[in-house]
Amino acid sequence: MSPHLLLQSLFKRFSVSTARRTLLPTIGFYLTRPALPPSEKPALFTMNILPPMMTVWHHCVRKYLGDRVDTVMFDCSGKLDPAEFPGVRVQKFLNVYAATKSDIFLNRIAKRRRIGWLCDDDIFLINGAAVDRVERELAIPNTASVSFRPRTWWHFEIDGKAYPPSSSYCIAFNREILCDRERLSLAPANGNNHPSDMGKPPTRYDTFDKANEILLKKGYRCAIVSKETENTYITGFSGMSGTVMLLWHFSTPEETADFFHSQPMEKWQGNVLYGTFSALLAIQCIQECYTKLKGRPYLLPSLPSKKVLWDIRRSCEPHLGDARSFTWIDEAGERLKGAL
């Protein structure tokens, strides 16, 4: 089975497997529909399927943002202990699409807040000034959102002007515009005909892309933090979920390593294998951060050792092509470790 088909199968199996821990709490959520109390604080939201990553993410939020935000986590593995996350509302929830969970947060949990802030659990907030930036940008009239990490491989072309897609990696919304006035969903959609900046055209709108396009066409401002200043606010990775599925699927480090060793070298030029191994390197970094915070590693039975990962990296790197490397993982990891 190809890596792409294997990952598709694993997502479904993982969601079914974890439902035994998350189904009843999800039903309870829908019955009670708990909302955060009214406040001027931004409401911050993330979702998680890899517990040690949540520990590191929470540490950064508490250290740098403190009580300036109210935080909600959706625990989609069902394995988080709420007692380990003081100051956070932890809700066990079915592992449905990210856009669905984000819509639920924005329209139900944060319905009494002006600012609803989404941040993936592999994006780490490392500067309290991020809150100031969010509040300052969203105070500008007609501003619907402010993004800390846009998409970079395609762009909107609207009325002859180019706009970068804001993405949903780390983005704060003026809910009064997005939810109350325009009633937009973050759901993905087909029919993306905007031009690509590298490789194949996008064809599909990912989370928030379609709503982003609608807002821009209606004349709203969707602010984006410049690339030059992005790293002062955040660090992190991307595309982690597929690799989490692999670690859940395999039983031993040897099985995980064999999966990568057995792939034809030409496949390393594609997106799936490169992205999956990049995330594996990122998870090794997360394990090191977790160990530093807790004094012991988190039990990940199928995670290969750092040496084995280095051997795989050394063998595949010459086959990635000129435009790709794993250096960005190293740099993001060093910033994260330095922020702990």
Contact 95, 105 (CB under 8 A): no
Asked if residue 43 has pLDDT above 90, the reply is yes
Residue 269 confidence (pLDDT): 81
Reported confidence tier of residue 8, pLDDT bands at 50, 70, 90: confident
Lowest-confidence segment of 21-25, 117-121, 159-163, 194-198 by average pLDDT: 194-198
- pTM, entire model: 0.95
- Is the predicted pLDDT of residue 30 greater than 80, yes or no? yes
Spatial neighbors of 242 by CB under 8 A, at least 6 apart, are 7, 10, 11, 272, 275, 276, 279
pLDDT of 321 reads: 79
249: exposed, middle or buried (C-beta count within 10 Å: 0-12, 13-18, 19+)? middle
Mean pLDDT value across residues 7-13 = 91
pLDDT tens readout for residues 189-245: 999 999 999 878 899 999 999 999 999 999 999 999 999 999 999 999 999 999 999
Distance CA 239, CA 123 (A): 11
pLDDT of 1 over the 80 cut: no
- Give me the domains of the chain, ranges plus CATH numbers: 17-235 (3.90.550.10), 237-339 (no CATH)
Instruction: List the beta bridge partners of residue 21.
Output: none
Rounded mean pLDDT, 3-22: 92
Q: Which residues of 214-238 are buried (b: 16+ CB within 10 A; e: fewer)?
A: ebbeeebbbbbbeeeebeebbbbbb
Q: For residues 50 and 47, give the distance between their C-alpha atoms in angstroms, rounded to a whole number.
A: 10
What confidence tens digit (pLDDT) does each residue in 161-193 have? 999 999 999 999 999 999 999 999 999 999 999
Alpha carbon distances (Å) from 100 to 47, 105, 338 = 11, 9, 34
Residue 271's pLDDT is: 85
